[in-house]
């Protein structure tokens, strides 16, 4: 391919300007001003366009008659030529050229398929394909290329290959036809018929306005300029992204991959014993509880029985065989090698027909001859000798990413949401500033991009921040870091691999209590102790402890355990039971003076070596039976300490630990390998964007949607902390003003609507507020849209800023070309959006059109809503006005309900509405976990509420619903809980369904109702729950269960010295959770719906009208 010297798209000639046509259905699209059809007079055609048509017609004719067709010549002044110029400019960009040189790609052979996102090219004389998920770096440089290619070849699964000359392009007729919406003829008759029109008119017919593949908005002159601008922004960040991705990939690929090595080992064993080349992942070691004699490799078969354990062969070798398996004949009787895993018991069972012809005992004895341990130890040593510096850079990047991510998440939460969090999860900007003192050479501003060189540079802890390895009664963690200010007050823990990664405490005493709480729960204890060397676990002689202190953690110096004989397990038992007095945290031990991440890398290296040494030489266990699993744990530790590598290479597969991903759901639950790769690649995109390509607004940069907004006031710059100065507490900024547009512009904004907007929303996901979410095809970034009707009265689709909060009930419409804010609109409560009216409010759904004479200064009241009933109702409803504020964006519903009191008929006036926020977040503290009350797992919150609230299971049956109250008694709170858990398990036998129910059936689920009531009540009034009841609608035949959380509230007058209940007011709230049976292959059998709406009703008793 010949490279032109001018890489900028040339301006369109005046004779080929764009005009706007209106289709019969009202749609508009851009077409060349010289286009013609039956309803349009002929217009002047540029010579270059005529030449293109002539060249295309000649190629088509030659092809139709069986001659060599040749290629179509395209001048850069044509519409197609403009886009080819843009594509060539992207292909010749230095970032792209450097990447192709590194990959040894022959540029002339490059072919791109925009529908699949792949690039094919010759590499060292062989054809090679690059995908968006292969970790080659193609993903980080392909965005602008693929966007331009989508315009050039919009048809599915079509490749783009361009030959560029100094003043023209040579392309296939298929490309020209695809771009202009023509259909290539297949014979001479079709050719003569189809080319007659363009041959006569000297141009192609205009593209239909409803063509989904060629929307006018994507092909216009403006779109061309926009892509050029976005490409410049994209490539500005690309070198840093590529550099960091390469570094992280190198670290991940060099990691000792125990699983991959075990697969090779298994296949080598099979080849040696049978002479067969096999895929070890297609052979299963199945174990059974019963057997029948048969003519098979083992002499046994297992019919009509499921395996008690089924492992793929590499995993079976890693689990290793037990001493019991070594008893002659025992393993072959109880197990066998099969081509099928579980699930065959009801078909043909397990026997000679699906058995792999090798006795498992033969495999076991051969595996014991292999020194697999030495192989892995050598690989571990090699990794550290060659990748220590890169590893330090990777974990420093992970630290900075997690800090920015947690700050962004925290500041996006509403005050009500923050109040619901555990204290240690209430991360603040002050905490963020403290942590960034550990990376003193990085910008404090969370919106500023880093460079790879900054991440590589060593940086000692700076300013008032102090860093210590977490030390619990003299035992030092190799990777948990405790950060504190100089005054020793606030503490922030960094726990790599945890979610969230940072926990904050107001004092050392609060941190001490947290450690104590962890030791009391088995799973939490194991999670904490996993961050300490194995040598610390067991009790031992004092001399051994002294050696361990010197050998294991030289990075932290003597660990102050030389005189100890008790291990961490015993220590944690004593902490949990209160037998160990004094603070758990040693605040002056294990201080980190230099670069934090160099210290962590050194500690991790020493821990890996020591863990392996302790396990292998231990006298307390049979080495042959244990070292494999512990080496696997050691490799898992290594992967866990470099979580950035996991999304790129699937490092979680090293040990089967799913927590190694960055929390991307697709990464751990994708149904296919392609989905998993896509999920992990997008997760890593989030890391790269957060570190290297963040805009001033704080939103992750999408290179094809500009976000700079000159109408917005500039963000106040963050000031780097002054050494020895305590971090400042930043105050919340005020909400954005309602409307920045001048009144003349505020009414009609149709020029900012998304062209072909309805097509954009076809595959979008809609939430309850009427906000549509789509994914950018190149970057995977989220894009958000709404439908809105402006002053022109035509509903259209508009793009909105991505930094909205659902709880605020307003969003900002932006110009899709510039990203500038054009209008702020508010939710009408019914999935629609309205502009704030001139009188300061929006029209309520039930409101009549106001009279022209009506005052513009009237404030709506709840009593107004009852005016249509009768005058007495309106008067009685003034009780609502005394205590509650009207939110005119909410669609309130008014009603009455009759009742009898002392033989007198009365009525209840009711106002009901839905809470603004219904998103379901199950916090870690609410997750089902092991409990002393059952062998099943339950949320601890559910267990605590079980004896103090009313629970009822409503079970569907053929004869009607059966009501089963969980009302068992007992002589203590513990006995009541125990008995009611037993009732619950009898009513609902499915253990996993019960676990999911427990995660929502507790008092934490009423918090949205509490927050909504407090926001609605006027100043001086509060709400308090009288009683909360839980109704579980359970139908064994359906795949859906509902949990209704019903709370009764009373309103308090707080203006006096003591709260006083207002008896005339009562409120009832109902939140409904839906739990469904999941169809996912892996993961939980049941999932909780993402939204659980809260319905609120406030009532006032009143007399019937006379």
Across 475-634, where does the E strand assignment appear?
475-484, 491-494, 502-505
CA-CA distance, 416 to 424, in Å (whole number)?
16
pLDDT of 556: 54
Q: Which residue has the tokens 């209160």?
A: 578
pLDDT of 356: 92
- What is the average per-residue pLDDT within 746-775? 79
- What is the average per-residue pLDDT within 666-679? 45
pLDDT of 434: 92
pLDDT of 617: 42
CA 658, chain centre distance (Å): 14
Least confident of 5-19, 494-508, 591-605, 757-771: 5-19
State percent of the chain over pLDDT 90.
Answer: 20
Residue 622 has pLDDT above 70, yes or no: no
Residue 986 has pLDDT above 90, yes or no: yes
Average pLDDT in the chain: 75
CA-CA distance, 1070 to 1073, in Å (whole number)?
10
Partners of 547 in the β-ladder = none
* Higher pLDDT among residues 154 and 711, named by residue: 154
Say if CB 263 and CB 318 are below 8 A apart: no
* Higher pLDDT among residues 941 and 323, named by residue: 941
Residue 721 has pLDDT above 90, yes or no: no
For the whole model, what pTM was predicted?
Answer: 0.53
Backbone angles phi, psi at 878, to 5 degrees: -65, -20
Least confident of 298-307, 603-612, 937-946: 603-612
* Higher pLDDT among residues 1061 and 673, named by residue: 1061
CA-CA distance, 1043 to 954, in Å (whole number)?
10
pLDDT tens, position by position, 330-353: 788 888 899 998 888 777 888 888
Angle between helix 542-551 and helix 596-617 axes, rounded to 10 deg:
140
pLDDT band at 624 (very low <50, low <70, confident <90, very high): very low
Token pair belonging to 32: 């060349």
Least confident of 412-416, 965-969, 1078-1082: 1078-1082
* Higher pLDDT among residues 185 and 733, named by residue: 185
Partners of 169 in the β-ladder = 74, 164
pLDDT of 738: 31
* Higher pLDDT among residues 963 and 1038, named by residue: 963
Residue 506 has pLDDT above 70, yes or no: yes
Token pair belonging to 491: 């503490």
- What is the average per-residue pLDDT within 145-169? 88
pLDDT of 550: 46
CA-CA distance, 56 to 50, in Å (whole number)?
10
Residue 204 has pLDDT above 90, yes or no: no
Least confident of 462-476, 658-672, 897-911, 1060-1074: 658-672
* Higher pLDDT among residues 1059 and 410, named by residue: 410
pLDDT band at 320 (very low <50, low <70, confident <90, very high): low
Across 6-49, where does the E strand assignment appear?
18-22, 28-32
Q: Distances from the Cα of 985 to the Cαs of 75, 485, 698, 1057, in angstroms?
A: 76, 49, 48, 47
pLDDT band at 689 (very low <50, low <70, confident <90, very high): confident
- Which SS3 state, helix, strand or coil, does residue 717 take? coil
Residue 631 has pLDDT above 60, yes or no: no
pLDDT of 674: 54
Q: What share of the chain is helix, strand, coil (3-state, %, to 5)?
A: 40, 20, 40
pLDDT of 744: 30
pLDDT tens, position by position, 396-433: 988 999 999 899 888 888 887 788 888 999 999 999 99
Say if CB 501 and CB 583 are below 8 A apart: no
- What is the average per-residue pLDDT within 735-756? 54
* Higher pLDDT among residues 1040 and 674, named by residue: 1040
pLDDT of 807: 62
DSSP state of 67: S
State percent of the chain over pLDDT 70.
Answer: 75
- What is the average per-residue pLDDT within 1031-1053? 89
The residues, any chain, with a CB within 8 Å of residue 790's CB and separated by 6 or more, are 747, 748, 749, 750, 796, 835
- What is the average per-residue pLDDT within 535-542? 68
* Higher pLDDT among residues 946 and 581, named by residue: 946
Say if CB 809 and CB 830 are below 8 A apart: no
Residue 735 has pLDDT above 60, yes or no: no
pLDDT of 582: 77
pLDDT band at 133 (very low <50, low <70, confident <90, very high): confident
Least confident of 795-809, 951-965, 1047-1061: 795-809
pLDDT band at 967 (very low <50, low <70, confident <90, very high): very high
The residues, any chain, with a CB within 8 Å of residue 966's CB and separated by 6 or more, are 946, 951, 952, 953, 980, 983, 984, 987
Say if CB 975 and CB 960 are below 8 A apart: no
Q: Distances from the Cα of 221 to the Cαs of 49, 205, 303, 851, 1004, in angstroms?
A: 16, 18, 71, 48, 54
Residue 493 has pLDDT above 70, yes or no: yes
Q: Mean pLDDT: which of 466-475, 632-641, 683-692, 898-907 is highest?
A: 466-475
Least confident of 354-368, 546-560, 751-765: 546-560
- What is the average per-residue pLDDT within 645-673? 32
- What is the average per-residue pLDDT within 186-211? 77
pLDDT tens, position by position, 23-79: 333 333 334 433 433 333 444 678 888 899 889 888 888 887 778 888 999 999 999
pLDDT tens, position by position, 63-111: 877 788 889 999 999 999 999 999 999 899 999 999 999 999 999 899 9
- What is the average per-residue pLDDT within 585-609? 82
* Higher pLDDT among residues 308 and 634, named by residue: 308
* Higher pLDDT among residues 487 and 642, named by residue: 487
Helices (H), 294-371: 313-319, 330-334, 360-367
pLDDT of 786: 92
pLDDT of 728: 36
């Amino acid at each position: 391919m010949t490279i032109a010297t001018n890489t900028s798209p040339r301006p369109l000639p005046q004779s080929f300007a764009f005009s706007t046509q209106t289709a019969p259905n009202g749609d508009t699209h851009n077409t060349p001003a010289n286009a013609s059809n039956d309803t349009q007079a002929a217009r002047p055609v540029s010579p270059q366009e005529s030449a293109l048509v002539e060249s295309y017609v000649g190629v088509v004719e030659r092809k139709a008659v069986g001659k060599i067709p040749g290629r179509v010549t395209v001048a850069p002044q044509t519409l197609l030529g403009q886009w080819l110029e843009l594509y060539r400019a992207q292909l010749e960009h230095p970032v792209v050229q450097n990447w192709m040189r590194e990959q040894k790609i022959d540029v002339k052979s490059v072919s791109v398929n925009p529908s699949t996102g792949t690039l094919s090219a010759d590499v060292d004389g062989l054809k090679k394909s690059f995908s968006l998920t292969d970790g080659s770096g193609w993903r980080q440089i392909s965005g602008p290329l693929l966007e331009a290619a989508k315009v050039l070849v919009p048809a599915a699964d079509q490749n783009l290959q361009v030959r560029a000359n100094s003043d023209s392009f040579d392309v296939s007729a298929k490309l020209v036809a695809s771009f202009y919406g023509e259909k290539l003829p297949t014979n001479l008759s079709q050719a003569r018929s189809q080319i007659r029109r363009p041959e006569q008119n000297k141009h192609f017919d205009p593209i239909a306005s409803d063509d989904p593949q060629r929307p006018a908005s994507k092909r216009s002159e403006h779109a061309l300029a926009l892509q050029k601008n976005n490409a410049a922004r994209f490539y500005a960040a690309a070198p840093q992204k590529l550099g960091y991705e390469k570094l992280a990939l190198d670290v991940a690929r060099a990691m000792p991959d125990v699983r991959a090595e075990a697969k090779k080992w298994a296949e080598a064993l099979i080849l040696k014993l049978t002479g067969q080349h096999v895929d070890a992942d297609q052979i299963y070691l199945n174990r059974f509880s019963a057997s029948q004699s048969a003519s098979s490799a083992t002499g046994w078969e297992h019919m009509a029985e499921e395996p008690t354990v089924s492992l793929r062969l590499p995993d079976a070798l890693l689990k290793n065989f037990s001493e019991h398996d070594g008893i002659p004949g025992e393993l072959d009787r109880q197990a066998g090698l099969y081509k099928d895993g579980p699930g065959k018991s009801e078909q043909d069972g397990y026997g000679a027909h699906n058995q792999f012809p090798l006795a498992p005992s033969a495999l076991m004895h051969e595996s014991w001859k292999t020194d697999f341990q030495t192989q892995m130890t050598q690989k571990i040593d090699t990794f550290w000798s060659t990748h220590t510096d890169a590893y330090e850079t990777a974990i420093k990047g992970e630290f900075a990413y997690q800090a920015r991510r947690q700050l962004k998440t925290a500041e996006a939460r509403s005050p009500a949401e923050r109040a619901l969090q555990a204290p240690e999860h209430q991360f603040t900007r002050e905490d963020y500033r403290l942590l960034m003192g550990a990376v003193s050479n990085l910008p404090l501003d969370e919106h500023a991009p880093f460079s790879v060189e900054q991440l590589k540079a060593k940086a000692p802890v700076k300013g008032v921040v102090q860093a210590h390895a977490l030390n619990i009664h003299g035992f030092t963690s190799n990777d948990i870091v405790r950060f504190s200010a100089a005054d020793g007050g606030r503490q922030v823990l960094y726990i790599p691999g945890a979610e969230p990664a940072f926990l904050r405490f107001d004092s050392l005493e609060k941190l001490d209590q947290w450690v104590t709480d962890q030791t009391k729960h088995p799973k939490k204890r194991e999670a904490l102790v996993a961050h300490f060397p194995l040598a610390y676990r067991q009790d031992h002689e004092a001399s051994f402890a002294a050696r361990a202190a010197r050998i294991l953690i030289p990075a932290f110096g003597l660990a102050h355990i030389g005189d100890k004989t008790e291990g961490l397990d015993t220590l944690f038992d004593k902490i949990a039971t209160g037998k160990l007095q004094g603070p758990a945290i040693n605040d002056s031990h294990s201080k980190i003076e230099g670069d934090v991440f160099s210290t962590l890398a050194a500690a991790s290296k020493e821990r890996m070596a020591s863990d392996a040494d302790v396990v292998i030489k231990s006298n307390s266990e049979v080495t042959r039976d244990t070292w494999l699993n512990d080496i696997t744990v050691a490799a898992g530790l290594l992967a866990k300490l470099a979580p950035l590598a996991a999304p790129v290479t699937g490092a979680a597969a090293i040990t089967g630990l799913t927590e190694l991903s960055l929390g991307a759901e697709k990464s751990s639950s994708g149904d296919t390998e392609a989905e998993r790769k896509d999920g992990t690649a997008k997760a890593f995109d989030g890391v790269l964007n957060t570190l290297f390509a963040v805009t001033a607004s704080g939103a992750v940069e999408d290179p094809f949607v500009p976000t700079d907004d000159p109408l917005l006031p500039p963000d106040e710059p963050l000031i780097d902390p002054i050494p020895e100065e305590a971090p400042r507490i930043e105050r919340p900024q005020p909400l954005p003003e309602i409307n920045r547009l001048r009144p003349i512009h505020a009414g009609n904004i149709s020029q900012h609507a998304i062209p072909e907007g309805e097509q954009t929303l076809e595959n979008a996901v809609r939430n309850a507020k009427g906000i549509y979410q789509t994914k950018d095809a190149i970057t995977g970034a989220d894009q958000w849209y709404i439908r809105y009707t402006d002053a022109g009265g035509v509903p259209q689709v508009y793009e909105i800023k991505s930094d909205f909060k659902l709880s605020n009930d307003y969003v900002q419409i932006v110009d899709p070309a510039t990203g500038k804010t054009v209008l702020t609109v508010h939710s009408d409560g019914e999935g629609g959006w309205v502009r704030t009216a001139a009188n300061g409010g929006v029209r309520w759904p039930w409101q009549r059109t106001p009279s022209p004479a009506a005052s513009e200064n009237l404030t709506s009241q709840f009593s107004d809503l009852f005016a249509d009933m009768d005058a007495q109702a309106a008067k009685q409803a003034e009780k609502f006005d005394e205590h509650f504020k009207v939110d005119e964006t909410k669609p309130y519903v008014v009603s009455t309900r009759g009742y009898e009191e002392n033989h007198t008929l009365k009525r209840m006036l009711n106002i009901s509405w839905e809470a603004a926020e219904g998103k379901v977040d199950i916090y870690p503290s609410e997750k089902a976990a092991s409990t002393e009350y059952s062998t099943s797992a339950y949320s601890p919150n559910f267990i605590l509420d079980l004896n103090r609230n009313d629970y009822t299971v409503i079970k569907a049956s053929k004869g009607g619903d059966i009501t089963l109250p969980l009302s068992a008694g007992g002589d203590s709170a513990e006995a009541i809980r125990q008995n009611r858990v037993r009732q619950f398990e009898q009513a609902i036998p499915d253990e996993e369904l019960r676990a999911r129910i427990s995660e929502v059936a507790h008092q934490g689920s009423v918090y949205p109702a509490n927050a909504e009531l407090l926001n609605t009540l006027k100043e001086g009034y509060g709400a308090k729950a009288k009683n909360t009841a839980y109704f579980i609608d359970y139908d064994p035949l359906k795949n859906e269960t509902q949990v209704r959380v019903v709370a009764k509230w009373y309103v308090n007058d707080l203006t006096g010295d003591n709260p006083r209940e207002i008896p005339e007011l009562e409120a009832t709230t109902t939140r409904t959770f839906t739990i469904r049976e999941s169809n996912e292959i892996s993961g939980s059998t049941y999932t909780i719906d993402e939204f659980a709406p809260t319905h609120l009703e406030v009532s006032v008793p009143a007399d019937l009208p006379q």
